[in-house]
Structure 1
Amino acid sequence: MSDATSRKVKRFSESDRNSEFDAATQKALEEIDVCQNEIDSINEKSSEEILKIEQKYNRLRKPFYEKRNNLISNIPNFWITAIMNHPDLSALLDETEEDCLHHLTKLEVEEFDDIKSGYWIKFYFEENPYFENSVITKEYHLDSATPTSESTQIIWKEGCSLAQNVEANKPGKKRRHEPAKTFFSWFNDNVDPYTDDIAEIIKDDLWLNPLQYYLVPDVEGDGENGVDAEEVSSSEDDEEREGGEEESRNQRK
């Protein structure tokens, strides 16, 4: 029996004198407590083995992620298209940021070796009119009681800064409950990594399968020959209605 189990059973035994339970119930509770400790021990071992399996498959996936990025590099505007087609991420970008992210050539998500302690999100840019960096990285450390995140300092070109609300997002400021409004305000926001939904979407959705978002059809676009689908439908309805009225007049004659 582990020390933790012994302490818990002892706690039950010491409280027995003033317990509201009868002897049979008290004994059953102590045995349940022992079972629960065994379950917790098995769960802990299971988590360790699952972690090892995840580490193994992360190593197996890595060369395919690299191959995928090499192929993506041959498709102009792949990442900005996938981001703009994503139902959550597209809301981050204003018009100027969208133009900036047209210079995004590669995106990478990489977990730390032990997986559970954190990960990086890296954005690679070609030379652009907005900043000097070729790579900007957001790094998450989740293995402590107080998780933290760090962002690359962006070297903006004169008069071209897209950072918004950076001062309001610095650590030590009052915690915000509203989501980040733009891509770069999110990137510079390191207040509370546990509530960073955008990072989770990039890591657990966009990065896992960006192709599904790149290939999203433009269902709101114009129809054939530049005519909107609703206009075509309305025109067809009018024709059917006029045909029905004419037939009714002929029958009355």
Structure 2
Amino acid sequence: MSEAKYIQPAPSSFDDAHKPKVEQLILDFRKADVELVKQELKIQAPLFEKRAEIVADVENFWFQSMVNCMAMNVYIDDADHEALSYLSGVRVERDLDDPRAATIVFSFRENPFFSDAELVKKFPLAEGAKTLEEQFNFVEETVPQKTEINWKSDDKNLCKLKPTVGGRDSDDFEPGSFFSTFFANTDTEVAGGIGHTIMVDWFPNALDFYLGEDTFDDEDFDSEEDEEDEDDEDAEIDLEAEEERPKKKTKAN
């Protein structure tokens, strides 16, 4: 029988002498995190431009990358496939001085669905947002702006044909069309959640998703969860990180 190990509980708080120093250290770490994000964006910018040039002639690169990303795929309806097949480029614009807000631009070739060459989704900071050095939650502290889409006809208007029903936490939530759920939507949880996924997950790793190197199926996901549950049944659950996943849609061929 192995010897029991005693783990001393962490103190509930620091004494008055240490508390100001600890608070300043936490602030310094947050400032360092902001600087790291700024440097990352600065270094990656020319690489993203080079990637855009390389994949410009790759048929259906951006569309296939989207549907290979499970977090994006769940919001793509089968009816979206043809329209998204005209997708020619994606870029994410963020201010290097304050990278919290974002503008996401989808570029399209001439297509029978809408006349817009670009669909621009803006996520400005919400009024009263925290300072740059404070902890920041993109979904809670940005405001998704509605993107106006100039549909060529009602029978091509995917927002009307496949509307979004309910919010992400509602029992009857149905994403409908990606154009309805993301571009036309101003819900912070739905449109904001998709925007955050694009900004920090899909867009930076679009090449990996296209090549299938950053994907996994539900079976693998479930088996990994089961193994973790067996290893530690008493593990704490991060309620903020747990998100109910909509039903997975059919991937493109």
The two structures share one fold, judged by TM-score above 0.5: yes
Across the aligned residues of Structure 1 and Structure 2, the Cα RMSD in angstroms comes to 3.2
Q: Write the mapping of 1:169-248 to structure 2, written as runs, cut at 5 A.
A: 177=169, 178=173, 180-187=175-182, 188-192=184-188, 196-216=192-212
Report the 3-state secondary structure (helix = DSSP H, G, I; strand = E; otherwise coil) of the residue aligned with 2:198: helix
Give the structure with the larger helix fraction. 1
* C-alpha distance after superposition, 1:64-113 (max 9, x if no partner): 10010111111011011111222232222223211000000001122223
Bigger radius of gyration, 1 or 2?
A: 1
Aligned amino acid, residue 179 of structure 2: F
Aligned amino acid, residue 40 of structure 1: E
2:107 is the counterpart of 1:124: yes
Aligned amino acid, residue 29 of structure 2: S
Any unmatched runs of 5+ in structure 2?
Answer: 1-11, 130-140, 218-253
In the alignment, what sits opposite 1:237? none
* C-alpha distance after superposition, 1:157-216 (max 9, x if no partner): 1222111499878xxxx8652473431122211122587332222222211111222122
2:132 is the counterpart of 1:149: no
Is the Cα contact below 8 Å between 2:162 and 2:176 reproduced in 1? no
Larger deviation, residues 145-154 vs 118-127: 145-154
Query: When the two structures are superposed, what TM-score results if normalisation uses the length of structure 1?
Result: 0.64
In the alignment, what sits opposite 1:135? 118
Q: Write the mapping of 1:1-253 to structure 2, written as runs, cut at 5 A.
A: 32-142=15-125, 144-145=128-129, 147-159=142-154, 160-164=156-160, 177=169, 178=173, 180-187=175-182, 188-192=184-188, 196-216=192-212
Taking the aligned partners of 1:131 and 1:42, their CA distance within structure 2 comes to 52
Taking the aligned partners of 1:73 and 1:63, their CA distance within structure 2 comes to 15
In the alignment, what sits opposite 2:246? none
Query: When the two structures are superposed, what TM-score results if normalisation uses the length of structure 2?
Result: 0.64
Taking a change above 3 Å as real, the CA distance of residues 179 and 34 of structure 1, as seen in their structure-2 partners, is farther
What's the offset of the Cα at 1:53? 3.2
Taking a change above 3 Å as real, the CA distance of residues 34 and 147 of structure 1, as seen in their structure-2 partners, is farther
Any unmatched runs of 5+ in structure 1?
Answer: 1-28, 221-253
Q: Percent identity?
A: 22
Taking a change above 3 Å as real, the CA distance of residues 45 and 31 of structure 1, as seen in their structure-2 partners, is closer
Is the Cα contact below 8 Å between 2:164 and 2:175 reproduced in 1? no
Aligned amino acid, residue 118 of structure 1: A
* C-alpha distance after superposition, 1:216-251 (max 9, x if no partner): 29x99xxxxxxxxxxxxxxxxxxxxxxxxxxxxxxx
Corresponding pairs, count: 188
